[in-house]
Homo-oligomer: A and B are copies of this chain.
Amino acid sequence: METKYNIVKQAIMSKILDGTIRPNQKISSETELMNEFNVSRHTVRLAIGDLVTRGWLYRTQGAGTFCADRLHNESNTNSDSAKTIAIITTYISDYIFPSIIRGAEAYLSENGYHVTLFSTNNNHDDERKFLEKVISRQFDGVIVEPTRSAFSNPNIKYYLNLERLKIPYLMINAYYDELEPISLTMDDEKGGFLQTEHLIKQGHRNIVGFFKTDDIQGTKRMKGYLKAHRTYEVPLNPNHIITYNTAEKKDKPTEELRKLLAKNNQDTPTAIVCYNDELAINLLDVIRGMGLKVPDNISIVGYDDSFLSNVSEVKLTTVEHPKSEMGKAAGKVIIDLIKDKNKAEGKIESIVYEPKLIVRNSTKELKE
């Protein structure tokens, strides 16, 4: 797959898919491509030849090579036969995503659609690759969980191209600010606020917060954590905010917590706000390992109400996440969007779910 002509081919296809080259527009000449990719003319011709036979390009001797108008031609093959929705998530198999996917799959399946899955592993390159597939194969609709939503997205062009091609899409859990798409999210700031408020009301004053900051959810939950401190006029110790990203998620938070708990002084945290249940369970292990008890020595609040929160010997206090309900709603909204494609828009709107705290026994009133 790493052949030179394939690289050239993919590059040309990308430009078509992301809208840089539009139907009937001339692409770079063979000589230009030779220089651009440092390959021989033969290689360039192999790549172009393949795309010509596949219907992506057409050539005219003396004039140049042009982008074919294939999008209109192919639309009829799929119109009534396919009924397929693409779901692009960061991880299909981890944590709460399976529940979301199942909710969507069940609803879509009932309504005669089927579901094709792609997981980006939180990687923009993969996200691009899948968006290309979605565009070229003309799915009927796309449900996307944005990859690294806290950062500006290099694939914005592809999303705009989806709009241009009138392929309905919506985003779940988070969305890229630049796009303002239809989305299903929860009020993560309020969620973070609820987590922290609960602990403050229980008398905790040294509350450490762990937040994954490469997606919007994490930064918003952190914002809620800060707001709760301000609202209740609890002074904030800057050392008690730990941020991490996906790559660091295995080691950094556990190490940081170990450090914090090791030095035993009046600043030692008595409670922990976690980005999610997965992290909470990991931190629980650290706490156990240091001979401390939850909730007697330290309280901990998770987020998402995942299966993990009920699995350990300490049932986690956590924030409810709609999960399969959100998946089902996503299925419903995407079908509505598909049906409404030709009509006047307006009715279909984004949904924001209200977070709700679920109190179990990982948190406890602080006694002096």
Contacts and interface: CB of A to CB of B under 8 A. Distances in A.
A305 to B, nearest CB: 15
Interface in A52-101: 53-54, 79-81, 84, 91-94, 97-99, 101
Interface in A32-54: 49, 53-54
Interface stretch (A116-124, A209-217, A234-242, A265-273): A116-124
A48 to B, nearest CB: 13
A356 to B, nearest CB: 22
Given A92-B105, A101-B93, A308-B311, A115 B114 contact: no
B115 A116 contact: yes
A283 to B, nearest CB: 12
A92 B84 contact: no
A288 interface: yes
B313 A311 contact: no
A281 interface: yes
Nearest to A311: B311
A312 interface: yes
A106 B137 CA distance: 19
Nearest to A49: B49
A223 interface: no
Q: Which of A79, A84, A93, A102 has the most CB of B within 10 A?
A: A93
A98 B308 CA distance: 15
A159 to B, nearest CB: 19
Nearest to A79: B54
B94 A98 contact: yes
B93 A117 contact: no
A297 interface: no
A98 B93 contact: yes
A53 B105 CA distance: 28
A288 B308 contact: no
Nearest to A86: B114
B313 A288 contact: yes
A133 interface: yes
A198 to B, nearest CB: 23
A109 interface: yes
Interface of A: 49, 53-54, 79-81, 84, 91-94, 97-99, 101-102, 105-106, 109, 114-119, 133, 137, 281, 284, 288, 308, 311-313, 324
14 contacts: A53-B53, A53-B79, A92-B105, A93-B99, A93-B324, A97-B98, A98-B98, A102-B119, A114-B117, A114-B118, A284-B313, A308-B311, A311-B311, A311-B312
Given A53-B53, A106-B119, A312-B313, 20 more contacts: A53-B79, A81-B137, A84-B116, A92-B98, A93-B98, A93-B101, A93-B102, A98-B98, A105-B117, A109-B118, A114-B116, A114-B117, A114-B118, A115-B116, A115-B117, A116-B117, A281-B311, A308-B311, A311-B312, A313-B313
